[in-house]
Chains A and B, each alone.
Chain A
Amino acid sequence: MDKQALRNRIVKRVAEELKPGSLVNLGIGMPTLVANHVSDEMGILFQSENGMIGIGRDAVTDDNLDVDITNAGGQPVSTVPEVSYFDSSLSFAIIRGGHVDSTVLGALEVDAEGNLANWIIPGKMVPGMGGAMDLVTGAKQVIIAMEHCNKNGEPKILQRCNLPLTAKGQVNLIVTEMAVIEVTENGLLLTEIAVDTTVEQVIKATGAELKIASDLKTFGEIE
């Protein structure tokens, strides 16, 4: 599966988790693409922690470019008609105060207790946490959208994270190109597998114990 097809499958499946009328924060990178799979009818508003609610899905062109409207990655974005803007204090009141319904982020590692690591690889890569710690702690639902394994083919879903944590016990759902996994009080529950994989393959690519849902479903399309 090529990278783009794989990412499309993940973000499309994540989009199905979002509730009509909800407020959603999408992380930088792959999570941003989730917006492409949400219809206008769903009435979902996208928050950006740098200070806006109402990022549009239209591409930015010379005609609608406004350099005073950027997202948390510093990139110019379009807006929906009901857009609003605010400073960083209010932005994080929205985030920490539990007013964001869902946040979608990538991960370096995620584990069976819902712990997330995505801001530092000590000695190697130190991008910083940005708003991720606040988002993961404050949002009602935390969805991880990521490739199932790292670029060396090793599991990113572990019994216990090795890397420094972004937050403890906050992850609710993990969506990869292979599987949809719920974080429950009793560990990880495999609820869906991709159409082109098997339970055995998912277990092999996962570094944590998986319980298999009795009504295991499939998702995605064969590429």
Chain B
Amino acid sequence: MQLKPIISPEQAVEKIKPNDRVMIGGFMATGSPLNVINHLVDLGTGELNIICTDTGYADKGIGQLISSKQAKSVKASHIGLNPETGRQMNTGELEVELIPQGTLAERIRCGGAGMGGFLTKTGLGTMVEEGKQKVTVEGEEYLLEMPLTADVALIKASIVDKAGNCIFNKTTKNFNPLMATAAKLVIVEAEQVVEVGDVEADRFTLPGTFVDFIVAV
């Protein structure tokens, strides 16, 4: 049976190096791997290139990595509820690229699915189109958006079996299953770890093949 190593949060964050591109799941901290994030803050790796849908709150979730200055760049769709992100961006301490949320999701999906990019109308006629190629298909204009990948993905699942198969409850899904496909190293923080066979296999929405390590909370 192909089982995945179960490691501690301390062991998990030691696998992340300065300059790594790190995808982190969650939406305003719902479905974020909060335990792993806390340990990453404590370890103080720094110089991280973070990819996430939002920088959460200054004191919770991904926002703590910003507040404790672990990031040198952030790609995100929304930073409005964490004033620290905006402050560091304005002083030049942090490089921020704002990406429409659907475009961010699809870029990650492309990265994980071996696609060379995709065409979307989102961002046409706005700052988002700057520097991007426009493509006309059947008379309709689109922006070409490129795939996005990462060195590490830190995701959170509600239930993980020891083979790494994941269930994400309700709105904790968000970017977690997408990011798991697009990173070289995938670490899943599990709310609950179960034996293989304990959960009906049909309920898993992310196959364990994408998972490298399980962190049990």
Contact = CB atoms under 8 A, between A and B. Distances in A.
Interface string B1-43: 0000000000000000000000000011111000000000000
B78 A51 contact: no
A128 B77 contact: yes
B86 interface: yes
A contact face: mostly helix, strand, loop, or mixed: loop
Contacts of A165: 125-127
A168 B126 contact: yes
Given A69-B171, A128-B79, A168-B124, A89 B178 contact: yes
Contacts of A166: 126
A128 B98 contact: yes
A85 B102 contact: no
B89 interface: yes
Contacts of A168: 124-126
Interface residues of A, number: 44
Nearest to A96: B102
Contacts of B116: none
Contact of A87 (B78, B128, B169, B178): B178
B100 A129 contact: yes
Interface string B112-134: 00000000111111111000000
Which one of A66, A88, A120 has the highest number of Cβ atoms from chain B below 10 Å of its Cβ? A88
Interface stretch (B64-72, B103-111, B193-201, B208-216): B103-111
Contacts of A1: none
A52 B126 contact: no
B172 A92 contact: no
Contacts of B57: 74
A131 interface: yes
Contacts of A89: 105-106, 109, 177-178
A85 B178 CA distance: 15
22 contacts: A50-B30, A51-B174, A52-B170, A52-B171, A69-B170, A69-B171, A72-B27, A74-B81, A87-B174, A89-B109, A115-B125, A120-B98, A127-B79, A129-B98, A129-B101, A130-B77, A130-B101, A131-B102, A133-B102, A133-B103, A138-B122, A167-B124
Interface of B: 27-31, 53-54, 56-57, 76-81, 86, 89-90, 96, 98, 100-103, 105-106, 109, 120-128, 158, 168-178, 205
